[in-house]
Copies of this chain bind each other. A is one copy, B any other.
Amino acid sequence: MGTPLPRDPIADAQRNWERHGWGDVAAPMAAITAIMRTQQILLARIETVLKPFGLTFARYELLALLSFARSGALPMNKASALLQVHPTSVTNAVDRLEKAALVARSPHPTDGRTTLIELTAEGRTLAKKATAALNAEVFGKSGFRPDDVDHLIRVLGTFRRDAGDFTEE
């Protein structure tokens, strides 16, 4: 957003940590801070691409998830688990997507507690277009070298498994 800084603020922070005698954790601190900032940059790029479609990243993720569901519908709690966000965030996203006629709520046939979310034809079309845009403008231009991409997937995959995201492998 603003002008580029003359120096890397995270490298400066790492030096500050070392200068204060926290050298043993300065590097992980820098790595974690870098992850936070990278996420911010990537999210901004994604939101920029999605804006013309009237979508935010949260809503896009839900549309994309539904578009890959075999039956075309998912229970809210399943979506919450797969997207790894709080159930209330799904409620919020579905409210807005439903208002835009991109998804529809329907009662679960056998479990009265559960609500199913289903893509409308319009929602499926928009998901396809938005995905094409993201692939072309963000994922296809990530700026990461292919080996770095593989390394990120491996390292962050291990981290997420250890953090309790999933148990496989």
Contact = CB atoms under 8 A, between A and B. Distances in A.
Interface string A16-41: 10000010110111111011111111
A80 B5 CA distance: 11
Interface stretch (A48-56, A112-120, A149-157): A149-157
Nearest to A169: B8
Interface string A141-165: 0111010111111011101111111
A81 interface: yes
Interface string A119-151: 000000000000100110011101110101111
B140 A5 contact: no
A35 B32 CA distance: 11
Secondary structure type dominating chain A contacts: helix
A86 interface: yes
A29 B141 CA distance: 10
Contacts of A16: 68
A3 B7 CA distance: 42
B84 A34 contact: no
B39 A35 contact: yes
Interface of A: 1-11, 13-14, 16, 22, 24-25, 27-32, 34-43, 64, 68, 80-84, 86, 131, 134-135, 138-140, 142-144, 146, 148-153, 155-157, 159-169
5 contacts: A5-B168, A8-B168, A13-B64, A38-B159, A40-B84
Q: Which 10 residue pairs of A and B lie closest in terms of their CB atoms, listed nearest first? A: A39-B39, A34-B156, A25-B139, A28-B142, A31-B152, A5-B166, A29-B139, A28-B139, A31-B149, A8-B166
